[in-house]
Amino acid sequence: MTHALLAATPLWMPSAADLQRLGPLWSLAGTIVAVLFAALLVGRNYRVAGAIATLGGVFTATLCWRGITGGAVPFAGLAPEAAAPMLVVDQFSCFFIFLISVFLVLVTGMWFMGLDAGVPDEAARRRDAVEFFVLFVGSAFGMALMVSTSNLLMIILAVESASLPSYGLAGFRKKHRPAAEASLKYILFGAVTSAISVYGASLLYGQFHTLDLMKISTAIGSQGISVLTGVGLFAFLIGVAFKVSAVPFHFWCPDVFEGASIEITTWLSVASKAAGLGLMLRIMWLLSCTVQSADAMRWVAHAVAIMAAITCTVGNFSAFRQTNLKRLLAFSSIAHAGYMLMAVSIIWQPRESAAGMPHPASSAVIAYMIVYLLMNLAAFGVVAMVYWSTGRETMDAFNGLGWRNPLLGVVMATCLFSLVGLPPLGGFITKYYLLIALYDASLIWLIFVAVFNTLLSLYYYARIAYAMYFVQSDEAPVRAPAMGQFAVLMCAAAIVLSGTFYAGKLKSFSDQRSRDMYGAMQPTGLRVAERPTADSMH
């Protein structure tokens, strides 16, 4: 019976080389399993769990770095139809997985530092470390999937894989009421948006009979975009918009950021956004990769631009009155997602210049992302250290920080001014690239919105700087772990360097990354995994 079944089925096994190219994904999935098995073997040991997660992260990052720099042949395959790959692991996705796994390692370090600094629920944290790391690496795996696929079904699965563990992480402090509330809200929003997203996907499938974005794009190119296609795309994109917290799908963000513990907030503010934007970039680029489809995408892109403008503005305005630093940074992260979406919204524009030249917008997003990662890591790191020392995350805990711990003060001030986008910091340079890209795309109104928002944001960022340096406080000096101080100092140094000496390098690096994206996703550039047919088996 079994034999007969096997004989009747075209058995398909990916080659060893293909499996190797999928290394980053294997590595993350394997880390999850390793954490669980280690718990079986050595019991609930938080050190072991953390060490495995760190090792897994480092290993994945190494694999990805090799993938980025080694010029690995992009992998696209494991698919029902030869030209419609389920997974696309190319240099572009390697780059994003690299960011995610580096961040995984850093946040794990932060988690350990929190233990040493004596967070209130320390014992519970130690005990539940295994579950924590399973969820944590699990969400990283989901994010990695998000950036390495161009199939609607896989995208939905990936977004779910990234979201579901995040819900658990947000509510991980069970005894903490706001955490439970945040988690619940997160779940509800996630459920609604993914329902809308699946609905959109079904509309698209119904129209094109395919789940592959490239094919959908070709079809849009040949028959134009119908209203239904547009709505389907919108509805589908809402799932992604939820991940990058674009208005009006951002409501979960402040509550979750405030309720979750600070490592998780850091994680969600950066990794989730990076994965979401990577996916968004890929979708927008794929949908407009032919001249006709690009033209058809005009209206969709325009709507994305409007959404970006609203996101930015609402994020900045809402941050005005916040006194909780985590909440404030949540709104700031919404605003920054808005800036990045602005660039995403002009990817569709056809370019006259030679093929293979990256669109300035995509490299602007990537550069922005890199600097944004550094800024947020350092800013949240400082907030975390202040929290560990004072037990508060509100603005008044920052009063006189510049004198209570000069190093943290300087780092925070650097981050804040970079978040505003003042020269000569990285935040300025990347914003400058972004505005240049918008200018090239002649979206002048969007430039005005961006500049106006920058001015707005100055107000609330400067408020923190003001509290740190000009408000007297006779509180005790802030004691912070040396490693943590070193880490945030490095981030601040990187922010300064990326705005000065390495501004050119940052640009060329992100140009290269977006060239990867373009090179890999050309319809002809795909390397499709070979799939033996039933005939060749015999």
Partner 1 sequence: MLEALAFYIFAAVTLVSAIGVVASRNIVRSAVCLLGTLGGVACLYFLLNANLLAAIQLIVYAGGTLILIVFGVMLTSKSPWVVFDPTRGQVVGAVIVSILLATGLCMLLVGNEWPAGTAMTASPHVKDVGTMLLTDYLVPFEAASVLLLVVMIGAAYLARPEK
Partner 2 sequence: MDLNNVETLAILIPLLPLLGAVAVGVIGLRGLRSNSHWLVLIGVGLALACAVRLFMNINLALTKGGSGCIDGLAKSWLIYGWINAGVTWMNVTFRIDSLTCVMLLTVLSVSFLVVAYSVGYMRDHHGHAERGYERFFAFLGIFVFSMCMLVLAGNFLLLYLGWELVGLSSYLLIGFYYEKPSAAAAAKKAFIVNRIGDFGFGLGIFLIYYTFGTLDYKEVFDLVAKMKMAGGAALSPDRVTAIALLLFCGAMGKSAQLPLHVWLPDAMEGPTPVSALIHAATMVTAGVYMVVRCNVIFSASHYAMWIVATIGGITSLFAATIALTQFDMKRILAYSTLSQLGYMFLGAGVGAFDSAIFHLFTHAFFKALLFLGAGSVMHAMAGVIDIRHFSGLARSMKITATTFCIGGLALAGFPLLAGFWSKDEIIHAALSSDMPWLGYMALITAWMTAFYTFRMIFMAFHGQERLPRDVHHAHESGPWMTAPLLILSVGAICAGYVGVTFGGHGFLGVFEPHGEFHHFLSYFTSGHRGTPKHVGAAEAGWLLGGHRLMYVSAAISLWGIGTAWFFYRRRPTIPLAIAFASGGLYRLLYNKYYVDELYDLALVRPLRRIGMVCYNLDRYFINAILWVIAAVPRLIGIILKGWQTGAMQGYALAMVVGLLVMIWWMLVAA
Q: Strand, helix or coil at 528? A: strand
Picked from partner 1, partner 2, none, the partner binding residue 153 (CB below 5 to 8 A depending on kind) is partner 1
Q: Tell whether residue 12 is a contact of partner 1 (CB under 8 A).
A: yes
| One residue of 34, 64, 86, 237 binding partner 1 per CB under 8 A | 86
Of residues 22 and 437, the one with the C-beta less far from partner 1? 22
Contact 362, 340 (CB under 8 A): no
Nearer to partner 1, 172 or 461 (CB): 172
What is the DSSP secondary-structure string of 316-331?
HHHHTT--BHHHHHHH
Q: Which of 18, 90, 128, 258 binds partner 1 (CB under 8 A)?
A: 128
Q: How far apart are CA 279 and CA 180, in angstroms?
A: 29
User: Counting every residue, how long is the chain?
Assistant: 538
State how far the alpha carbon of 409 is from the alpha carbons of 110, 290, 298, 322, 399, in Å.
19, 50, 45, 20, 10
Q: Using the rule CB under 8 A, is 260 a contact of partner 1?
A: no
Minimum distance from CB of 84 to partner 2 (Å)?
26
Residue 69 interacts with partner 1 (CB under 8 A): yes or no: no
Burial of 227 (0-12, 13-18, 19+ CB in 10 A): exposed
Among partner 1, partner 2, none, what binds residue 207 when CB lies within 5 to 8 Å by partner kind? Answer: partner 1
Q: How far apart are CA 263 and CA 381, in angstroms?
A: 9
Q: Are 18 and 529 in contact (CB under 8 A)?
A: yes
- Which residue from 55, 83, 157, 422 is in contact with partner 1, where contact means CB under 8 A? 157
**Mask for 199-228, x = binds partner 1 (CB under 8 A):** -------xxxx----------------xxx
CB of 511 to partner 2, least distance (A): 11
Q: How far is the CB of 311 from partner 2 (least distance, A)?
A: 11
Token pair 């008044």 is found at: 396
CB 362 within 8 A of CB 440: no
CB of 86 to partner 1, least distance (A): 4
Q: Does 161 bind partner 1 (CB under 8 A)?
A: yes
Question: 485 contacts which partner out of partner 1, partner 2, none, CB within 5 to 8 A by kind?
Answer: none
Instruction: Tally helices (H) and strands (E) across the chain.
Output: 25, 2
Contacts for 64 with CB less than 8 Å, ≥ 6 apart: 24, 94, 95, 97, 98, 101
Q: Least CB distance from residue 207 to partner 1, whole Å?
A: 7
DSSP string across 453-519: HHHHHHHHHHHHHHHHHHS---PPPPP--HHHHHHHHHHHHHHHHHHTTTHHHHHHHHHHHHHHHHH
Candidate residues 153, 410, 462, 490; the one interacting with partner 1 per rule CB under 8 A: 153
Binder to partner 1 among 34, 49, 145, 464 (CB under 8 A)?
Answer: 145
80 binds partner 1 (CB under 8 A): yes
Q: Shortest Cβ distance from residue 302 to partner 2 (Å)?
A: 8
The DSSP 8-state label assigned to residue 530 in this structure reads P
158 binds partner 1 (CB under 8 A): yes
Residue 188 near partner 1 by CB under 8 A: no
At its nearest, how many Å lie between partner 2 and the CB of residue 299?
5
Residue from 72, 87, 237, 456 that binds partner 1 (CB under 8 A)?
87
- Decide: helix, strand or coil at residue 150: coil
For 77, the 3-state DSSP assignment is strand
Q: Where do contacts with partner 1 occur on this chain (CB under 8 A)?
A: 5, 9-12, 29, 32, 36, 78-80, 86-87, 124, 128, 131, 134-135, 138-139, 141-142, 145, 153-154, 157-158, 160-161, 164-165, 167-168, 171-172, 174-175, 206-209, 226-228, 231
